Amino acid sequence: NAGVMQNPRHLVRRRGQEARLRCSPMKGHSHVYWYRQLPEEGLKFMVYLQKENIIDESGMPKERFSAEFPKEGPSILRIQQVVRGDSAAYFCASSPRTGLLYGYTFGSGTRLTVV
């Protein structure tokens, strides 16, 4: 039973390029969450999605960031025109229903470095 799968594990982008981070939730999990962790900082909520729906994007920066969870395939977090400040670990988590009762299971993260 594979856990939450994130790829790539490490991603290096030059300033101005696009970064695409992928997340496949655990089997049977229909709720996906994206979090960002800056060095020496806590996890910050970005967006919560269910299949084909964005439920809560209150933590997403207004520009350059977008997320989707299509009917088929993984969830994608997309960062356009990356800047150095986007360098961070991006974690995806999933839960079978609302995370209120079950908590989340996290993937191993994608470490984005912008050079």
Partner 1 sequence: RKEVEQDPGPFNVPEGATVAFNCTYSNSASQSFFWYRQDCRKEPKLLMSVYSSGNEDGRFTAQLNRASQYISLLIRDSKLSDSATYLCVVNNGGGADGLTFGKGTHLIIQP
* Span near partner 1 by CB under 8 A; candidates 22-30, 62-70, 79-87, 100-108: 100-108
Nearer residue to partner 1 within complex by CB, 55 or 83? 55
Q: Is 2 in the site for partner 1 (CB under 8 A)?
A: no
Task: Single out the segment in contact with partner 1 by CB under 8 A; choices: 12-20, 64-72, 75-83, 91-99.
Answer: 91-99
Figure out which of the listed residues 2, 63, 72, 98 binds partner 1, where binding follows CB under 8 A. 98
Nearer to partner 1, 27 or 44 (CB): 44
- Judging by beta carbons within 10 Å of its beta carbon (0-12, 13-18, 19+), is residue 42 exposed, middle or buried? exposed
Which residue in the block uniquely carries the two structure tokens 């809560």? 56
**Binding status of residue 48 toward partner 1 by CB under 8 A:** yes
| Residue 68 buriedness (CB in 10 A; 0-12 / 13-18 / 19+) | middle
Question: Which pairing describes strands 65-68 and 88-95: parallel, antiparallel, or unpaired?
Answer: unpaired
Element (H, E) at 47: strand 43-50
Interface contacts to partner 1, rule CB under 8 A: 31, 33, 35, 41-45, 48, 55-56, 89, 91, 98-101, 103-109
